[in-house]
Chains A and B, each alone.
Chain A
Amino acid sequence: MASLKLEHIYKVYPNGHKAVTDFNMNIKDGEFIVFVGPSGCGKSTTLRMIAGLEDISSGELYIGDTLVNDMQPKDRDIAMVFQNYALYPHMTVYENMAFGLTLRKVPRTIIHEKVMWAAEVLGLKEYLDRKPKAMSGGQRQRVSLGRAILRNPKVMLLDEPLSNLDAKLRGQMRSMISKLHQQLKTTFIYVTHDQVEAMTLGTRVVVMKLGRIQQVDSPQNLYDHPINKFVAGFIGTPQMNFFNVRLKDAGDHVDVLWTDCEQPALKITHDSVLKAERKYLKGDIDITLGFRCEAVSAEDIKENDDNVVDVTISHFEELGNETLIYGDLKEIEGLGGESKTAIIIKAPSKMGHVPGDVIKAKIDVSRIHLFDAKTEMTIIPPIPEANVLPVSIENEKMTLFGTVKKPASIPVDFVKDGTIALPLSALSLGDGAIEGKVLLVEDHGEEGQLALLQVEDKKIFAFVPEGTKVGAKVKYCVDYSKATFKDAEGKLLASPLPDRDNLTATFVNLKTAHEVTQDDSFLKIQEERIKAVEDKYAPIFEEFNKEKEEKLREAGEKQNIAMENLDAKEAELDEKNNALKAELAKAKEEYKTQMVEIKARHKAIEKEEIGKIEAMYKKMLQDENDDFKRAMMNNKDPESRRSRRMSHAVFKESFPQMKANDLERKTNSLEFDKETEINGAKARYSQKKNLLNETIKENKKAFMEENYPHKLLEKEYAAKEKELLKKKDDELLHAKLIFFFKQDEHYQMIPDDITTKIIQGLGNRVFTKIFRIEVPHDGFVEEEGANEYQVVANVNYGDVEMYKCNGVAYGEKVTVYIKKEREMEIGEKIHLRADLVKSQIYEDELNIRLY
C-alpha cells in the first residue's frame, strides 16, 4: 500500500511522437484511480510507465517516497492485470498464482496459504488444477486478479481487464473488482476506455485526450462540472446535447441566444455566470451550450413558462423503463444526420407522440454548461483565472476599489470605463491596500478555499485562509504587475509583466568549466565533496570493523566448542535427512503408481465410452436402413417415396460427420477429465517434493548455523562490507560529478537534485541542448562574478516594488525584473545569478519541462 506521485511525466518515442505530455498527479494511499479516454490518449502508456514496462522520457515517478524511474518492474512492488490475462499456459491455475512468490523464494507453506486465500476470495478453489485453456474468459481474468492480489503489492495496476469479456460477465467482474478494492484497501490504478467502468469504479477519474490530462475529479464532479467540451461529451450516455449560442447581458438576467435556430432565448441569472469573464456576455463570442438529456423535460409545461423550446421529433429509443426522444430544434431535413440542432430528451415514455410531431420541451437552466466555442474550455471554471472589473484612471488617480493614487508603474495614464483583469495570483493575503468582506466560501480541496468577497462596491474572487467564515473580513496585497488593462472598446492598454524572466544556458561538466575558466575553486568544491563522503564513511567503517571483529570472535569460540562433538552431530543430520529422502523416494514411487493407475483407468473408461457411442451409431444406422427399406417396400405414393429417399440420402451424407463429432466431443471431455486429474496428482506430488527438499535444506542450514557459526558469519560480513563499499563508491561517484550551467561567460554550479532531473529527462543529450531557465522576480541572487546587469528603472506597482535591470547575454539584450530587496540606484551595476531551486528549467526543442 502506498501513495504515488507523478511529476511532469513525459513519454516521447524515438520518432518524436509524444504519447504523454506533462502528466502531474498525486495519488493517495488506497485510492481507486481510473484513467479513461479514447484510444491513443496515452492512458495505457502512463500505466505501463508506472509499471516500469515503458521508460519514462522525462519527469519523476514516486511510489511511496521512493523515486522509481530507474527501477526494474519487479523491484517496484506492483502487480498488474493484463487485458489478455497473460496467464502462463503451461502451468495450472495454482502454479500460475504461485509463480511470482516462487521467484521471490517465499517458503512453500506460505505460498500455499496465500494461494488458498486468493482462490477462496475469487472463488477459484475448484479450478486450481486446471490449465488456463480449460477455463472461460471470466475465470481466466479471475486467476489473473488472484495472481496480482496474492503478492499484496503496493499498487495494483489493471490494464483494461474487462475489455475481452462479454457484457454480463463484465458487470459481475466490475462489482468483484470493486469489492476487492474495499477488502484490500490497496491503491488501484485502472485503465479503461469504457466510461461506465470509470464512473462506477473510480474514487477519482482521470480523463485523458491526446496524451494530456483533461480533468481529474470524482465521477460525480466530472459529470456535474466538466471542465471542457471533451469531458462533457465523453462522460455520460447518451452524449450531452451541444448547441451554438451567444450570451447577452439583458439587465436583470442574461439571455442565451440560439445561433443556428429560431427559438426563444433562454434566461439565466447573473449569479450563475459570476465566474465567467465579462467579455462572454457581450453577445459577440461564440459559445457552446451543453446540457444532458435529463436536464430537458417534455412534461408538465405551462403556457407562460420560460426556457421552453419547440422540438420536432425524429425518432425514439425505448429503453424499457424510459424513452429517449431524438429530435431537432429546427425542422428536420432528410434524415437529419449531422444537424447542429439535434437534441435528445429523456422521458418516461413516448407520451403518445409519433415522429414528426412538434412538442414543447423545457430546459432546466440550472443544469446547463457553457463552453468557449474556440478553446472548448468551460467559461464558468470552478476557480476563475482572473477578476475582470471596471476601472478608470485619470490624473494619476485610479478608480477601482475606491479611488486611490495610481501606482507609478502602471503604464496607463488615462482610461474611462475600461476593464482590469486581475488574476487570483495577484491577490495575496497580507496587510495590503484592500479589505474584503466574505460573501461565500467554496472548498476546492488541495487548491484551497475560494471566496467571493465584497470590496468597496465590487465583488471579487480570491483565496482565503482555511476556516474563514462568511462575513469575516480579509486583507489583501494587490500586485498590479499581473493585471491586464483594456479600454471601453476592449483595446489592450497594458498587458501583465511576465512573472518570470527567461535566461538561456548550456550544460557543461566540471572539466570543461575548469579548462575554460581556470577557476580552481571548482576543483576545490569537488575535493571538499569527496572529502565529505570520506569523512562520513570513515567512522561507519570503523564501527563496522569493530563490530565484525567482536562478533567473529564470539562465533569463533562457539564454533570451537561445537567442533568437539561434530561426528555425532553429522551422523544425526545424515539420519534425519536420509529419512526425509526415503520419504521422498516413497512419494515418487506412489506418484508413479498413481499415474499409471490414472492412465489405465482413463484408458478403460475411454474404451467403454467410445464403445458405447460406436454401438449407438451402429444401431442408428441399422434402424435407418431398415426403416428406409420398409418404407420403400410399403409406400407407393411417389411424393412421399421421394421425400423419404431424400431424407435417407441426407442421413447417409451426414452420418459419418455426426459420428465423428460425437466421438471427438467425448474424447475431448474425457481427455480434459484425465488431464485435470493428472495435473492434480502432479501438483500434490511436486508440493510434497518441494516441501521435503526444503526441509532437507533447512536441516542442513540449521546444522551449519549450529556448528559453523564463524564461517557463516564471515560470509555475512563479507557481503555486508561489499554492500557498504558499493554505497560509498556510489556516493563518491556522485560527489565527483559536478555540472554547471553556462550562461554567457558565467558558470553556475547546478544543485545535485536538479542535475539528476535534467539527466533523467535528456540522458546524454544534455550537453547538446540549450536550456531556458525561467526565473521568478524573487529568484535572483546578487553574487560577485556572476553576469553583470545595470539597474535601469524602479518599478512600483503599489504593494509590489521591483527593479528593472538590463544585461547582455550571448550578444543579446536581456531584461529582468528583480524584487526589491535593498535600495538600488538607477545606473548601478550589479551581478546577478538565478536561484535555480526557485526557477523552472525547460528544453524548448523537445518542449519539455525538466524542473
Chain B
Amino acid sequence: MAEKNFASKRFAEKSQRVLIYIILTVVSVIWIFPFIYLIFQSFAEVANPKSIFPERWTFQNYLTLFSSTSKPFLSWWLNTFLIALATAVLQTILVLMTAYSLSRLRFSGRKALMKLILVLGMFPGFLGMLVNYYILQLLGLNTSIFSLIVVYVASSAMSYYIAKGFFDTVSKSLDEAVMIDGGSKNTVFWRIILPLSKPIIIYTVLVSFTAPWGDYMFGSFIASSSSAITPYNYTVAVGLSRITEASEYGLFCAGAVMVSIPIAALFFWLQRYYVEGIAGGAVKG
C-alpha cells in the first residue's frame, strides 16, 4: 500500500513538472519569436514580412547600414550611446543621492515631498513635451540632439523609490558607526552605502540606460523641429523610423538587431550582480 502511494505521488509530481515545462516552453517561444523573426528578416535579400525564413540569405543589409551616407547608422548609434551613457551616469548619481537622503534624513516636508513626487510621476512624460521644447528653445538648446540629456536627466530623481526601498534595508547603525568613527554623511554615502549597493546601482544604471536608448518621442520631436539637426545627428530610434518611412524593411531589421546588441550585452554582463547579496553579514541575519 505504502509503495503504491509513494509511486502515485511520484507520478503526480512528475506529471506536474512536465506540464509546467510545457507551459514555460510555449511562453518562451511566443516571447522569443519576434526577435528570431527580426534576425531572420535582417538577413533576407528581398524583404518579405509574411514569411519567417528568407528565400535568399545575405549580409547586404548590414553592409548598407554601415556604409550608407544618407542613413549614417554608425553616427546614430554613437549619438544614442553617448546620450544614454551620459543620462545613465547623471541619473544614477541623482537617483541614489535622492533616495539616500529620503531614506536617511528627517526634514520637514519629507513625507509630503515623497507623495508629491509619486503623484507627479503618474503623469506621462510627453504631457510636458511642448513645454519642454519651449524651454529648450528659450535656452537655445533646441539645436542639438544632445539636449535630450537635459530632458532625460531633469526629472530623473523622481524614480527614487526602488533605491530608497533598498537603502531602508541597510541597517542605520552602520551610518551611526561611521558618524562615531569620525565620518560625515558624505563619508557614509560614498564609502559605506555605495559599495554595499552594487545591486541597486546596477539596476538604476540599467533602467536609466535603456530608457533613453529606446526613446523615440522626444528624439523625433527635437530632430524634426530644427533645421540645425541633420541626419547625422539622429538617434537610432529616429533614424530607424526614417528608414521605415523609406520602406526599406530589411535594412530596418538589421538596424533593430544592432540596436538590441548593447542592451542585451549590458544585461548579460550585469545580471549576475543583481543577485549578489552583498549586504549579508552587515548585521545579524
Contacts and interface: CB of A to CB of B under 8 A. Distances in A.
Contacts of B196: 89-90
B282 A89 contact: yes
Contacts of A72: 179
B195 interface: yes
B245 interface: no
Nearest to B192: A88
Contacts of A719: none
A104 B192 CA distance: 16
B269 to A, nearest CB: 19
A664 to B, nearest CB: 15
Grouping DSSP codes into helix (H, G, I), strand (E, B) and loop, the A interface class, with mixed when no group exceeds half, is mixed
B246 to A, nearest CB: 52
A502 interface: no
Interface string A50-93: 01110000000000000000001110001110111111111000
A51 B179 CA distance: 10
B181 A147 contact: yes
Given A86-B171, A86-B176, A90-B196, A132 B281 contact: yes
A99 B177 CA distance: 10
A458 interface: no
Interface stretch (A16-24, A167-175, A641-649, A813-821): A641-649
Nearest to B179: A73
A642 B177 contact: no
A133 interface: yes
A74 B283 contact: no
Nearest to A83: B173
Contacts of A99: 178, 181
A137 interface: yes
Contact of A53 (B179, B281, B284): B179
Interface string A642-672: 1001100100010000000000000000000
Contacts of A646: 2-3, 6
A103 B171 CA distance: 21
B174 A88 contact: yes
A51 B173 CA distance: 12
Interface in B124-182: 171, 173-174, 176-182
Given A84-B171, A88-B174, A89-B281, A103 B183 contact: yes
B283 A85 contact: yes
Given A86-B174, A89-B196, A51 B180 contact: yes
Contact of B195 (A53, A83, A90, A134): A90
A133 B280 contact: yes
A798 interface: no
Nearest to A653: B10
B25 interface: no
- Interface range on chain B (Cβ under 8 Å from partner): 20 to 34
Given A86-B173, A89-B279, A645-B3, A80 B183 contact: no
A100 interface: yes
Nearest to A650: B6
A642 B2 CA distance: 10
Contacts of A645: 3
Contacts of A90: 192, 195-196, 278
A84 B278 contact: no
A99 B282 CA distance: 15
B69 interface: no
B64 to A, nearest CB: 44
A100 B174 CA distance: 13
Contact of A100 (B2, B182, B195, B284): B182
B230 interface: no
A53 B174 CA distance: 12
Interface in B176-234: 176-184, 187, 192, 195-196
B281 A78 contact: no
Nearest to B170: A89
Interface in B1-45: 2-3, 6-7, 10
Contacts of B282: 86-89, 132
Given A86-B174, A90-B196, A131 B281 contact: yes
Contacts of A52: 179-180
A220 interface: no
A164 interface: yes
Nearest to A80: B180
A151 B7 CA distance: 66
B179 A84 contact: no
Contacts of A79: 180
Contacts of A85: 283-284
B279 A82 contact: no
B280 A103 contact: no
Contacts of B178: 99
A134 B281 contact: yes
Contacts of A137: 284
A104 B6 contact: no
Contacts of B7: 649
A82 B177 contact: yes
Interface string A120-137: 000000000001111101
B181 to A, nearest CB: 4
A84 B182 contact: no
Nearest to A643: B3
Contacts of B3: 642, 645-646
A79 B177 CA distance: 9
B186 to A, nearest CB: 11
B281 A74 contact: no
A164 B281 CA distance: 14
Q: Which of A72, A78, A137 has the most CB of B within 10 A?
A: A72
A78 B180 contact: yes
A82 B182 contact: no
Contacts of B176: 51, 53, 73, 80, 82, 86
Contacts of A86: 171, 173-174, 176-177, 282-283
Contacts of B187: 103
Contacts of A74: 179-184
B119 to A, nearest CB: 25
A83 B172 CA distance: 12
A645 to B, nearest CB: 7
B173 A84 contact: yes
A110 to B, nearest CB: 15
Contacts of B192: 88, 90
Given A86-B283, A89-B279, A642-B3, A103 B181 contact: yes
Nearest to A76: B180
Contacts of B283: 84-86
A564 B184 CA distance: 45
A217 B19 CA distance: 72
A134 B280 CA distance: 10
A110 B3 CA distance: 71
A650 to B, nearest CB: 9
A83 B173 CA distance: 9
A52 B280 CA distance: 28
B8 to A, nearest CB: 12
A80 B180 CA distance: 7
A78 B177 CA distance: 11
A104 B278 contact: no
A79 B280 CA distance: 24
Contacts of B184: 74
Interface of A: 51-53, 72-74, 78-80, 82-90, 99-100, 103-104, 131-135, 137, 140, 147, 151, 164, 642, 645-646, 649, 653
Which are the 9 A-B pairs with shortest beta-carbon distances? A133-B281, A100-B181, A86-B173, A89-B282, A86-B177, A84-B283, A103-B182, A74-B182, A132-B281
29 contacts: A51-B176, A51-B180, A53-B176, A53-B180, A72-B179, A74-B183, A78-B180, A79-B180, A80-B176, A82-B176, A86-B173, A87-B177, A88-B177, A89-B196, A89-B278, A89-B280, A90-B195, A99-B181, A100-B180, A100-B182, A103-B181, A131-B281, A133-B281, A135-B281, A137-B284, A140-B284, A642-B3, A646-B3, A649-B7
Given A80-B177, A88-B177, A103-B183, 9 more contacts: A72-B179, A74-B180, A83-B173, A86-B177, A86-B283, A132-B282, A133-B281, A147-B181, A164-B284
